[in-house]
Structures are given as structure tokens and as C-alpha cells.
Amino acid sequence: MENIDFSLVDWSRAQFALTAMYHWIFVPLTLGLSFIIAFMETLYVRTGNPEWKRITKFWMALFGINFAIGIATGIILEFEFGTNWSNYSWFVGDIFGAPLAIEGIMAFFLESTFIAVMFFGWNKVSKKFHLLSTWLVAFGSNLSALWILVANGWMQYPAGMKFNPDTARNEMVDFWEVLFSPVAINKFLHTISSGYVLASVFVIGVSAWFLLKNREHLFAKRSIVVASVFGLLTTAFVVLTGDGSARNMAKYQPMKFAAMENLYVGKQNAPLVAIGILKEDKKESSHKKQDFRFMIEIPNMLSYMAFLDANAYVPGIKDIVYGNPEQNIPSYQERTVKGRTAILSLAAYKNAKKAGNDSLAKASLALFEKNYPDFGYGYYYSRNVQELIPSVPLTFYSFRIMVFLGVHFGLLFLVILWLTLNDRIARKRFILYTALWSIPLAYIASELGWIVAEAGRQPWVIQNILPTIAAVSQLKSFSVQITFWMFFILFTGLLIAEIRIMTTQIKKGPEEVRTFNNSTIPETKS
């Protein structure tokens, strides 16, 4: 551990974060817009109204642009596991690789097979088969997310595995435990539903632009109604799954939960800080303690949110770092000692096995298995415990801004749906501008969700088992810096390209004619 190149660790983290955050700009719109398109085409097939076909094809064009550019960042992201995080890939490749392989075989091929029909099959296949293809693309896109999020959920809560001391690798023993772990399922449902909210905001915002420009009133109003209803339903689901995420976090990642709530000293009947402004406690700055300049609390709410019990004890950062015997919480010092014991006993087991000393090998293996749950803490033996505390201000503010924006979107859906159904929306320019400028806010909220999830669990790549400092490849820091800036330029270029192509397509508006047997005839409007 004395030979760790922390510059390499930092740049590897930065590069992966850069790729993941750019990738996540494209993914949620794909997830949500695919279902919105499917709903719109269903209305076209059921009613026979060509206006719904026209609406569907417009949003389908935007979906295609976003889908194509999102693939590029996703491919690079998967390659980085092998290039920058080879130790991680070796340590858990048997488990982490399985969901990604299934994603490629099952979901990707489902998408790629039917997406061609969806885009090029108009007037070439039957209406019902085209509709089926659109729905299958939507399910395929979300199936891709399932397997990727199962892999990420496993990193947050490793399950269904067993460590093989002979190969020094974790191996999958129960695929279904990996797939159906409470963290994996909840993460999938929460993440895709947040993508649905973003897509709803996007459709409403673009439709609002048409109304502000006094264009395509019928198209805009129908799009708003579909997106608002979809957004309201999925917002409720986001709240439900977010509640589940909080309980999983309190149970399996208590340090992340404490940092997110700026809870330094554990409490019974712990209140929830709804709004707060932090300031550093200079007396205990070495342990990242933060005080409040200002706060508004909801009594007992944090205890209830964490354990469904208003009287429950919620451990704070101090409890987790220094231990709390009364609450049966071991200290980090105890866990680092156990982790160190696990690392040393594993080495002793290998040496004994090589020497043919079966009794020593057996004893060393038993000692290793006893201490393996704290294996990752051994890398921090004799190191500053501050490294095991995530950034409190970052997780605290990210969570609250995300929640605030989520409430804003829910109210926006409700208000704009009511105004549209009452045929008053075109006159409410303030609401229309609010909807339009909510598009970038939706992307901010989406990225903040990932910041809470990923930055909040640092320094762990795999919770309690593998820290970031032990997961990186043996590379030169300079080479990672070069690729970081290369990817930054590439991804920024892709983002600019997408924005320009999308804005051009939006300004063009829905097509005014439809093609039938190589001739064009005016599209009938209702």
C-alpha cells in the first residue's frame, strides 16, 4: 500500500466519472422517450388518426438521434473496466461480467433487431407489427438498463458470491440472488423511473417551445397531455422507490446515509433536515464534521425514513468511525485490523499450500473466512480514517437539490396538464417558459442522483470488499491524463453535435407530408 500512485487513482476515477456522466446525459431520455413513443403510436393504431402518427414520428426522430450518440459513450465505458480497472475486473469479473454479457446478448440484440423496423418499417409492415416493434424497442432499452443496474447494485451490496482463495477471485454461486437482491431491484426501478420523469419534462419542454412560437398547437397539446400523465405516474413511482433506496442505504451503506444527512452523532428519534446550510466545524475538521448555519427539521422523520420506526437509532459518522458498543457498531479501527488479518491470512494460506503444509493452510483459510467480511478495510490499516468518509457537503447538497427539483417536476406536470385540458395553456407564457427551462434542470437532477449514489459510497468500488485504491490498473498516471482530455473533447463534441442536430430537428417540426407507395400526399389533420 505504500507504493500507491494516488495521482493514478484520482485520474482513473476522474476519467470514469467523466465517461459515466456524459453517458448518463443520453440514457435516461432513451429509457423514457421509448415508452412515450410507444404510447403515442398505440393511440395512432387504436384511433386511426394520422395526427398521432405524425406526433409519433417526430418524437421518434429525436429518440433516434439520442440513441445513436448514447451508444458511443456506453461502449467506451465498458472498455474502461478492462483498461483502467483491471484489478477490479480480475477480482469480480465472474460476477460483474455476467449481467453485462446478458445485456449484450439479450437486450442489445432485441433493440437492434426491432429498431430498424421501428424507423424504416412505416408503410412496409402492418400497423400492428410496427407497433409491436416499437414496444419491443422500449422493453429492450429498459432491459439493457436492468442488467447494467443489477451489476451496479451488486457493487453497492455484494451478494450471491463466494471468494475463491486459490484464484483470489470472487465467483458467482447464486445468479438469482445477484439479480433479485433488494438493492439491485430497487436501484433498477428507481433509476428507470427517474429517466421516465426526465423524458416527460423533455417532451413537455419542447412542446412548450412550439406553443411559445405559436406553432403546431394540436401537436404540442397532445404531446403535453401524454407526457404529463406519464410524468405524474412515474413521479409517484420515483418517490416510492426513493423511499426504498433510503432504507437500503441505511441498512447496507450507513456511512453514505450519514454523510447524505450530515449526521455526525447518531440519534434516536432522529429528525430529517429538509433544508440546511452547512459550515465546517474547525474543532473537528480532520473528521469532516459539518455544523449547520441554518436548517429546517422534520421531527423523527429520519428515523422513520431509515427503519420505518420513528424511535429507531440512526448511526452517525462518529458512531461508524469510532464505534458504538451500545448499538453494536464496530469501529473502523477494529474493521481495519480484521481486514488486515484477512489479507495476511490469505497470503499465509497460499504460501502454506505451495509448501504442502495442509494443516497451516487449513488454519489460515479458516482465519481468512472469519475476517473476510471486512477484507477491504485491511487496505486502510495504519491509514487516516478520514479517507473512509465521503464528501459530506457534496452528498448532502446533491441529495436535497435533487429532491427539490423532483418536487418541482411533479408540480409542473400537474399544473401544465390541468391548463392543457382546460385549453388555457397557450396563454400561460410563464408556465411555458418554466416548462422549457425545466429541461436542463431535469438533466441536473438526474446527474445529481448518480453523484449521491457513487460519490456517497467512496472509497468503495465494492462495498466493504474492494476500495478504489486497490482496483486500478498498473498504468502511468500520465497516460490516463491524456485519455481523460481526449475523452473530454470527444464527449463534449458529441454533446454539442446532439444538441445542434436535435435543435435543428425541433425547429423543423413534425413532418407535413407522409410517404405512401413512393408518392407524397398531404397529411390529414384532425
Q: How far apart are CA 282 and CA 301, in angstroms?
A: 28
Alpha-carbon distance of 437 to 205, in angstroms, equals 7
Q: Give the integer Cα–Cα distance in Å for 99 and 151.
A: 6
CA distances (Å), 150 to each of 95, 255, 294, in order?
Answer: 10, 22, 38
Tens digit of pLDDT for each residue in 61-116? 999 888 877 777 777 877 888 788 888 888 888 888 888 788 777 666 777 788 88
Residue position matching grid coordinates 440514457: 27
Inter-residue contact 274 to 298 (CB < 8 Å): yes
pLDDT range class, residue 496, cuts 50, 70, 90: very high
Cα(190)–Cα(406) distance, integer angstroms: 13
Cell of 15: 476519467
Query: What is the dihedral sign for C-alpha 411, 414, 418, 419?
Result: positive
Tell me, rounded to whole angstroms, the distance of Cα 384 from its chain centroid. Answer: 30
Tally of CB atoms within 10 A around 344: 16
Evaluate if residue 121 carries a pLDDT over 60.
yes
Task: Assess whether pLDDT exceeds 70 at residue 1.
Answer: no
Residue 513 has pLDDT above 60, yes or no: no
Beta pairing class for 169-172 and 161-164: antiparallel
- Alpha-carbon distance of 378 to 422, in angstroms, equals 64
Mean pLDDT for the stretch of residues 387-394:
90
For cell 491524463, the residue is 481
* pLDDT tens for each residue of 282-303: 666 556 678 888 899 999 999 9
User: What percent of the chain clears pLDDT 90, i.e. is strictly above it?
Assistant: 61
Q: Give the pLDDT of residue 523.
A: 42
Phi, psi of 171 (to 5 degrees): -120, 145
Q: How far is CA 79 from the centre of its chain?
A: 19
CB 453 within 8 A of CB 459: no
The pLDDT tens digits for 202-253 are 999 999 999 999 999 999 999 999 999 999 999 999 999 999 999 999 999 9
267-284 pLDDT, tens digit each: 999 999 999 999 877 666
Give the three-state DSSP class for 299.
coil
- For residue 18, give Cα distances in angstroms to 15, 66, 515: 5, 18, 42
> How confident is residue 516, by pLDDT bands cut at 50, 70 and 90?
very low
Q: What pLDDT is stored for residue 116 in this prediction?
A: 87
Mean pLDDT of 500-507: 93
3-state secondary structure of 338: helix
